[in-house]
Amino acid sequence: MNKLAFFLLGMICSLNAVGQEVYFHNPVIRGDMPDPSVIKIKDTYYAAGTSSEWAPFYPMFTSKDLINWKQVGHVFKKQPDWTVNSFWAPELFYHNNKVYCYYTARQKSTGISYIGVATSDSPLHEFTDHGPIIEYGTEAIDAFVYDDNGQLYISWKAYGLDKRPIEILGSKLSADGLKLEGEPFTLLVDDEYIGMEGQYHFKQGEYYYIVYAAHGCCGPSSDYDVYVARSKNYTGPYEKYEGNPILHGGNGDYKSCGHGTAVTTPDGRMFYLCHAYLKGDGFYTGRQPILQEMFVGGDQWVHFKTGNVAQAKQPVPFPGTFQKESEDFEDSFGGKSLKVEWNWNYPYSDVVTTFKKGKLLLAGHPKKGNLHGTALCLRAETPDYSYETKLVNTNKSVKGLTMYGDDKNLVIWGVSGNKLFLKRIKDNEESTLYESVCNNREVYLKITVEKGSLLNFYQSKDGKEWTSVQDTYFQGQDLVRWDRVSRPGLIHIGDVNEPAEFEYFKTQVKNK
């Protein structure tokens, strides 16, 4: 959609706002970005989310209206020294003109998930890591920081891996936000054994509220939903709402939803940003951030404006705004660095990228046990799209397109030497689905995706006329990993001195 079309659509939305309510459709941040945290600084909203097994770590987005978001960077470009993997649940906090990020990662020395803290003078700049702040028990995840009239508190999920009820624990936090003070204390206990995590604290009137996620977070069987408890003291005791859950998938547009934080608009309204799996084909775009208006009702309990069944269609937060469509992506590799949207499989390979005369040279250093190279990928924003590349076939390395679950579950559509092939790797076992001779130095490859998981594979001599190499779709449903969906992108397998050479990469959204 061009700028004139956006302008005209904006004018229509503004006119409609005079006579009737205008709506947007969730998700507001498209693509897999679980556990979103949102804050407001001056007139700008910032959101970060889980990056899990993809680097760089914790994507950062900005917005002026809460419904149109743009990725601007990451919390970390470099992995913090104390960590090994599983980068979950970054929690942003703005305090004394400084931005904090309290984040979960597995500790290198123990393999246990603990909570670290990093700071920056702006969400737009890379953060400085201060190391772990909570090393407690066999699991400590999902931090949230609350300022209670000048006293900082931090809470987190504990005992999730133990044979005992999960608890939300709390502790006083130092004024500089960098260390615990005193002994941890219990805020809330999961005495129903249904799960409890991703908490958000706020106070309104005489009550402190904890809005939290219950049940299962991830994968095809996810049944996440949102609960609330309240107390007249931050430290408790808390009572749980008899009407829980206050937000769930049910018969609405989502399979499940939960784990988020809220932000308050200048006129005092609260908007809760959490993640959700869409039902049907949209499941394969992962856990995407959705926005719902939240309020405290006359019964002094938390409710959502459009009811307790989460709906994709919501009133726009601000009059005169409209939601932009998902856009195509293209990288012609004309710069000196990767575009901010790219991510790679850091637990399995260190990526090596070089830019040379408008081409990307991709290689990597695979880590122990990884037989399937370096994947450079994007977050898919819709279930129906295509992606393509032009590569220069000059060496024996495997190079081309991939749909990537992890190092042992992926699809490769590429070339090596004079062979063009389609390979499926499942549980580290490799099978060849198609193979032919390819003597062309320059090769165009494309993959189309329908319904999120049905793949078809094409080749071309000129990037205009495409030939399919399959009679039926490849079924890619089992590329989904426990806490993340597969991602489209580029791949290299081979010696670092024999890189893959790509002239461009682009995606195109279907049915826009």
Point out the residues that are catalytic: 35, 197
Nearest alpha-carbon partner for 235 in 208, 205, 260: 208
Encoded tokens for 403: 């749909």
Strands (E), 407-499: 409-416, 419-426, 429-437, 442-450, 454-460, 467-468, 474-475, 487-493
How far, CA to CA in Å, does 402 sit from each of 54, 354, 411?
15, 20, 5
Neighbour count for residue 471 (Cβ, 10 Å): 6
Judged on CB neighbours under 10 Å (0-12, 13-18, 19+), 205 is: exposed
Neighbour count for residue 435 (Cβ, 10 Å): 12
Asked if 202 and 210 count as a contact pair (C-beta separation under 8 A), the reply is no
Nearest alpha-carbon partner for 379 in 47, 38, 56, 44: 56
Helix or strand or coil: residue 87?
A: strand
Scored b (16 or more CB within 10 A) or e, 111-149 reads: eebbbbbbbbeebeebbebbebbbebbebbbbbbbbeee
| C-alpha count within 13 angstroms, C-beta hemisphere, residue 508 | 8
Q: What is the dihedral of CA 295, 298, 299, 303, to 10 degrees?
A: -20
Phi, psi of 50 (to 5 degrees): -60, 135
Question: How far, rounded to the nearest angstrom, does the alpha carbon of residue 63 sit from its chain's CA centroid?
Answer: 16
Helix or strand or coil: residue 510?
A: coil
Query: How far is residue 457's CA from residue 454's CA, in Å, rounded to a whole number?
Result: 10
- Taking every pair of Cα atoms in the chain, the longest distance, rounded to a whole number of angstroms, is 75
Radius of gyration of the chain (CA): 23
Helix or strand or coil: residue 208?
A: strand
Encoded tokens for 365: 């250093």
